[in-house]
Amino acid sequence: MLSTIKKFAVCAIFAAALFSAGSLSAAQENDSEAKQADAEYYNRAADESCWKKFSNGVIWYLPNRLSDLLDIFTVELKAGEVALDLKLTRYATFGGAVGRQYSFGWSIYDQRGVYWQRGWSVDFLNYRAEDIYRKTVFGYYKPLFKNTSGEVDIAGMCKEKSADPWAIGINASLLLGANIEIHPVELADFIAGILCVDFKDDDRREIHWFSDDL
């Protein structure tokens, strides 16, 4: 009887070992299949992402180059202001302006449309005294309210994104006039963009076919 029990126990242990080995092998096989499926999924996702980036780049190439081209120039037509301000970058600006005026045109940082402004400003080299209030009438222009005097903070000016410290141009008006500027950094960005180099990181890259609210 005892011998039979021992034989039965040995058989049970052997069967359990075979079952465990089979289960382990199946688990390893399932794990291997899962890893392979994950790898295939991520490879496919990477391929789709690369294709999406490429297709978006092709579609946006001409619009981005046009946007970069417009960024090279500021062209604003003015009415109501008396001004004569020569700009040879922010470090060499001479002149001033005074009055209430409407301006229509476009400027750096995708500012476009119509704005109303009142106040005055005086420039000498990199020193500026000003009391200016600006609000948008149509389109997009960055609203301004400044009452300052002293050396211009170039870093703060770049961060504010309302004007270009490296601009070269002239603001001339006798009730009617214009503000014309060339932006050398944007010119370099336009030339680099032709070669698909966006060092200013301002190109549009995504296409949103539907509203985010849907």
- Determine the pLDDT at residue 43: 60
- Determine the pLDDT at residue 214: 41
- Determine the pLDDT at residue 212: 46
- Determine the pLDDT at residue 69: 92
Average pLDDT, the chain: 82
Residues in the chain where the model's pLDDT stays below 50: 2, 208-214
DSSP 129: E
The C-alpha atoms of residue 172 and residue 162 are separated, in whole angstroms, by 19
Asked whether the beta carbons of 179 and 171 are under 8 A apart, the reply is yes
Structure confidence by residue, pLDDT tens digits, 116-160: 999 999 999 999 999 999 999 999 999 999 999 999 999 988 888
Q: Virtual CA dihedral for 195, 161, 97, 169, nearest 10 degrees?
A: -10
The C-alpha atoms of residue 136 and residue 105 are separated, in whole angstroms, by 12
